[in-house]
């Protein structure tokens, strides 16, 4: 975070020195884009926080635990696709899940879908790339996640 602020600051300063007008134009463009996106973002974050409330850690462990079998996979993929958890929370959570008996292949499915597919972020993605492209991207990612789960199952 600090790194990004410093980097942005440096970029602005260098850009200001080279060409003041262009810099203001760029900043304005960025700000307008951000403000246009803000309502969609808030909507998305609100949805995510409700989903996260409805499905707390304990429930996850229960449904993805040792004896869950195929159902565990499906739930891991579903939850991973819907949820939107930042990495620094997701990895510790996965650590807990492993310790409480969830297999590595299920974790792999969970974490890959968590990172690559986002059904709740679809409206946002579609705003940029259109619905067709966004849905295809998400489905391909889902397939990749299941595949990696299978591979993990073989090796670990």
Partner 1 sequence: MKEVKKYIFPFVFLILIGLSYLFDFAAGEKISLNFWMFFKEMILFLPLMFILIGLFDVWVPREKIEKHIGKESGWRGTGLVILLATLQAGPLYGAFPFAYLLWKKGCSIRNVFIYLGAFSTIKIPMLTFEIGFLGLKFSLLRYSHHFTHFYFDRIYS
Question: What residue ranges bind partner 1 (CB under 8 A)?
Answer: 1, 4-5, 7-8, 11-12, 15, 22-23, 25-31, 33-34, 37, 39-46, 48-50, 52-53, 84, 86-88, 91-92, 94-95, 98, 104, 107-108, 111-112, 115-116, 118, 121, 124-125, 128-129, 133, 137, 141, 144, 147-148, 151-152, 155-156
If the CB atoms of residues 71 and 147 are measured against partner 1, the closer one turns out to be: 147
If the CB atoms of residues 60 and 94 are measured against partner 1, the closer one turns out to be: 94
**Least separation in angstroms between CB 70 and partner 1:** 21
If the CB atoms of residues 22 and 62 are measured against partner 1, the closer one turns out to be: 22
| CA separation for the pair 72, 109 (Å, rounded) | 10
**Least separation in angstroms between CB 42 and partner 1:** 4
HEC assignment per residue over 86-153: CHHHHHHHHHHHHHCCCCHHHHHHHHHHHHHCCCCCHHHHHHHHCHHHHHHHHHHHHHHHHHHHHHHH
| CA separation for the pair 9, 26 (Å, rounded) | 14
If the CB atoms of residues 5 and 58 are measured against partner 1, the closer one turns out to be: 5
**Least separation in angstroms between CB 75 and partner 1:** 19
If the CB atoms of residues 34 and 62 are measured against partner 1, the closer one turns out to be: 34
The closest of 115, 43, 60 to 85, measured between CA atoms, is 115
Burial of 21 (0-12, 13-18, 19+ CB in 10 A): exposed
**Least separation in angstroms between CB 76 and partner 1:** 14
| CA separation for the pair 125, 133 (Å, rounded) | 9
């Amino acid at each position: 975070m600090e790194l990004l602020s410093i980097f942005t600051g440096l970029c602005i300063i260098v850009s200001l020195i080279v060409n003041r007008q262009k810099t203001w134009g760029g900043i304005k463009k960025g700000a307008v884009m951000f403000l246009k996106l803000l309502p969609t973002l808030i909507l998305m974050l609100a949805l995510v926080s409700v989903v996260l409330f409805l499905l707390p850690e304990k429930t996850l462990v229960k449904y993805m635990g040792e004896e869950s079998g195929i159902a565990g996979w499906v739930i891991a993929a579903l939850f991973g696709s819907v949820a939107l958890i930042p990495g620094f929370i997701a990895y510790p959570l996965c650590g807990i899940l492993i310790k409480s008996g969830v297999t590595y292949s299920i974790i792999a499915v969970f974490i890959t879908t968590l990172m690559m597919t986002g059904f709740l972020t679809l409206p946002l993605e579609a705003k940029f790339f259109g619905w067709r492209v966004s849905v295809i991207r998400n489905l391909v990612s889902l397939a990749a996640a299941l595949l990696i789960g299978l591979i993990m199952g073989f090796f670990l």
